[in-house]
Structure 1
Amino acid sequence: MNKKELIESISGAADISKAAAEKALNGTLSAIAEALKKGDKVTLVGFGTFSVSKREARQGRNPQTGKAIKIAEKKVAKFKAGSKLSEAVN
């Protein structure tokens, strides 16, 4: 399912226009991104938790030359599925 299909699904389920569903989805995604940017967790009970984790700097290898390279540390977004989502999938 892509974003357009998700908007159509939200529109039908909530009985709202596609434009309103798109605004709601974009607002939700923006709010989640802003919270993660601040370092906060976003927990949607039953669905899952979005969080930010720090990946430490490490040594890597250039696959073409085999030469060792340094990979800088960075923050990565993580998602852990909630119990209801896990049950729905299984």
Structure 2
Amino acid sequence: MTDPGVSFTNDIAKQAVCMSKVKQKKMVQSAVVRGDEVTLVGFGYFETVLAKLRTGHNPRTGERADIGEKRRSKFTVARSRPPCWAHPSCPFWPA
């Protein structure tokens, strides 16, 4: 027989984790919209970049159209370890 208190406690913990993830996502989104760089240690970082002016075309008519500059978010994956470790000249290279 399961204890109903344990189930209730786990449900509250799951809700708290879910709410914390939602809040974290909203904080990251609002920071990127403001133009700030957001770093998630060990995961990567988000930054805002300006996409260049480019020429596109309407696939239905074939007419060319200029697509203006636009701010976009960009994610870059974090490196698993410093790049110098992969080179024998690094002082931390295993002997």
TM-score when normalising by structure 1: 0.70
CA positional deviation for 1:20: 0.3
Matched, 1:34 2:48: no
Q: Please tell me the root mean square deviation across aligned C-alpha atoms, in Å.
A: 1.6
For 1:43 and 1:74, the matched residues in 2 are separated by 22
Extract structure 1 runs of 4+ deviating beyond 3 A.
none
Matched, 1:51 2:47: yes
For 2:17 and 2:69, the matched residues in 1 are separated by 37
For 2:61 and 2:25, the matched residues in 1 are separated by 40
Q: Give secondary structure in 1 for the equivalent of 2:59.
A: coil
Based on CA coordinates, which of the two structures has the bigger radius of gyration? 2
Instruction: Write the deviation string for residues 23-73 of structure 1: whole angstroms up to 9, x where unpaired.
Output: 100111011011111111001121101111111221111111111112121
What fraction of aligned residue pairs are identical, expressed as a percent? 36
Match of 1:64 in 2: 60
For 1:54 and 1:80, the matched residues in 2 are separated by 15
For 1:46 and 1:22, the matched residues in 2 are separated by 21
Higher helix share: 1
Q: Give secondary structure in 2 for the equivalent of 1:17.
A: helix
TM-score when normalising by structure 2: 0.66
Aligned pair count reads 70
Match of 2:72 in 1: 76
For 1:46 and 1:26, the matched residues in 2 are separated by 20
